Amino acid sequence: MRYLPLTAADRRDMLSVIGVKSVDELFRDVPQSARLGAKVAGLPDHLGELEVERAFQAYAAKNVSPSVAPFFIGAGAYRHHVPATVDYMIQRGEFLTSYTPYQPEITQGTLQYLFEFQTQVTLLTGMEVANASMYDGSTGASEAVLMANRVTRRAKALLSGGLHPQYRGIIETTAHWQGFKTVSGKADVEGLEDLIAAVDKETSCVVVQNPSFFGHVRDFAKLAEACHAAGALLIVVVTEVVSLGLLKPPGEMGADIVVCEGQSIGNGLGFGGPYVGLFATKEKYMRQMPGRLVGETVDADGKRGFVLTLSTREQHIRREKATSNICTNAGLCALAFTVHLTLLGEAGLTRLAELNHAKAGQLADRLAAVPGVKVVNASFFNEFTVALPKVAAPVVEALAAKRILGGVPVSRLLPGDASVEKLLLLAATETATDGGMDALVAGLKEVL
């Protein structure tokens, strides 16, 4: 077995040093009834590298890769070009095969890039402090609500109807089992929802998304004022982080906590994960944050260095009083984010965001010209909703049969809501081509 260095002779020598005859003796604390005489039944034996590769090629061949099909799917995960440098860098063994930086003397590489990551996140979101990542945006949103409950000592969250339905589902699941209330707005298809009147003295937080699940771009400054007047926090969720290259950051709207799905920068689609959650807040709430934090300090020679800090919030020290049970986070995905964003820089990110917005604008204009298709949004970044003359799900399937990946039927994420069944959510990033848009328009005309 190519991964196992011990030879039969090594094993014999080691057993004799230990003073036992066989490795079975080392398992003598396992109850007799649970000892397997042989290997686990019903599973195949080991394979060479070539055979493993073939097996995965076979899995891949049964899928339609976005690289060979016109592609317009978003809804919380976005297809962007990731520079080759990013993937090279995260595969360096010193990053890839290192653990959580508990020994700062020999993990300054990880600690410094996490400090750079935290700084980048504060700049993008317009917030004061950020942590070293969450699993992803969806779980981060749920952690943000728990944090708001701690800060306000209240237990009712208002969830916008513009919030990604799966994010809402996770918060509701957490609420049910951890014991707090949620009030959810109905699907905000038009982007006209006003939650101000719903904020009261029991509200711990209001959770909104920008751009919303349906693509609308909104200003939440007045909502933030209303929240603060009532002693509640405003949580802004961003699922398309590239939008922050162009849009007014949530911090400038008065957000108290900002959670982003960071996948769009540096991380491929990967069928849904692993992604990287960005989590930022105001300095005064720093000690209520979940997750790891990297801070600057000096070493015994007075040189600048970085360490994990404020660890007393975390489970390994605070145990049942921890701010979260999170331990492992998304370190390597955070590195991919940081490397890509460093390559982009100020000019590159701005240009990338402009390009996304322009491509989506082109797509919207072309779809608006298709008979029977209506673009719902007056505002959007790189994703918008269209109303079709018929139920959307079969249309998407019919497009898929033509190898066109033409968006997400809203009903997939909001099943059972008849008011959304003709709605289709479409995104266009810098990867969209004129040819791809032509194919989508032509395909739609055929199947509608």
- Name the residue nearer to other proteins (CB basis): 14 or 200: 14
Residue with tokens 């997400």: 408
**CB-wise, 110 or 203, nearer to other proteins?**
110
Residue 154 CB, nearest distance to other proteins (Å)? 17
**Residues near other proteins (CB under 8 A), total:** 221
62 phi/psi in degrees, rounded to 5 = -90, 5
Does position 133 interact with other proteins (CB under 8 A)? The reply is yes
Taking CB under 8 A as the criterion, which residues in 104-123 touch other proteins?
104-110, 112-116, 118-120, 122-123
Is-contact 205 152, C-beta < 8 A?
yes
Tokens of 85: 């440098």
Taking the CA atoms of residue 132, residue 138, residue 140 and residue 145 in that order, the dihedral angle to the nearest 10 degrees is 170
Among 339, 367, 370, 439, binds other proteins (CB under 8 A): 339
C-beta separation of 256 from 234 below 8 A: yes
Q: How many other CB atoms sit within 10 Å of the CB of residue 266?
A: 27
- Binder to other proteins among 150, 282, 402, 412 (CB under 8 A)? 412
Q: Does 136 bind other proteins (CB under 8 A)?
A: yes
The piece of 136-144, 147-155, 230-238, 439-447 that touches other proteins (CB under 8 A) is: 136-144
To other proteins, the closest distance from the beta carbon of 51 in angstroms equals 8
Nearest Cα to 277, choosing from 86, 141, 407?
Answer: 141
Q: Is 419 in the site for other proteins (CB under 8 A)?
A: no
Q: Does 369 bind other proteins (CB under 8 A)?
A: no
Which region among 155-163, 196-204, 270-278, 438-446 touches other proteins (by CB under 8 A)?
270-278
What is the torsion angle, in degrees rounded to the nearest 10, for the CA atoms of residue 416, residue 422, residue 427 and residue 431? 110
**Closest approach of other proteins to the CB of residue 248, in Å:** 5
Amino acid at 21: K
CB atoms within 10 A of CB 335: 25
Contact between 433 and other proteins (CB under 8 A)?
A: no
User: Could you give the count of Cα atoms lying within 13 Å of 424 in the half-sphere of its Cβ?
Assistant: 30
| 308-337 positions binding other proteins, by CB under 8 A | 309-312, 314-322, 324-333, 335
Selected from 155, 190, 231, 273, the binder of other proteins by CB under 8 A is: 273
- Smaller CB distance to other proteins: residue 230 or 310? 310
The 294-313 site mask, x for binding other proteins (CB under 8 A), equals xxxxxxxxxxxxxx-xxxx-
Three-state SS at 429: coil
Contacts 24+ apart (CB under 8 A), 417-421: 417/187, 419/187, 419/189, 420/187, 420/189, 421/391, 421/392, 421/393
Q: Which of 158, 396, 426, 441 binds other proteins (CB under 8 A)?
A: 396
CB 279 within 8 A of CB 133: yes
Q: Which residue has the tokens 């982003």?
A: 260
Query: Applying CB under 8 A, does 249 fall inside the site for other proteins?
Result: yes
Nearest approach in angstroms of CB 314 to other proteins is 8
Q: Of the candidates 158, 159, 217, 392, which one interacts with other proteins according to CB under 8 A?
A: 217
Smaller CB separation from other proteins, 202 or 252: 252
User: Whose CA is closest to 257, among 113, 149, 171?
Assistant: 149
Upstream peptide bond of 274 is cis (omega within 30 degrees of 0): yes
Closest to other proteins by CB, 55 or 200: 55
The reply on whether position 349 binds other proteins by CB under 8 A is yes
Establish if 71 lies at the interface with other proteins (CB under 8 A): yes
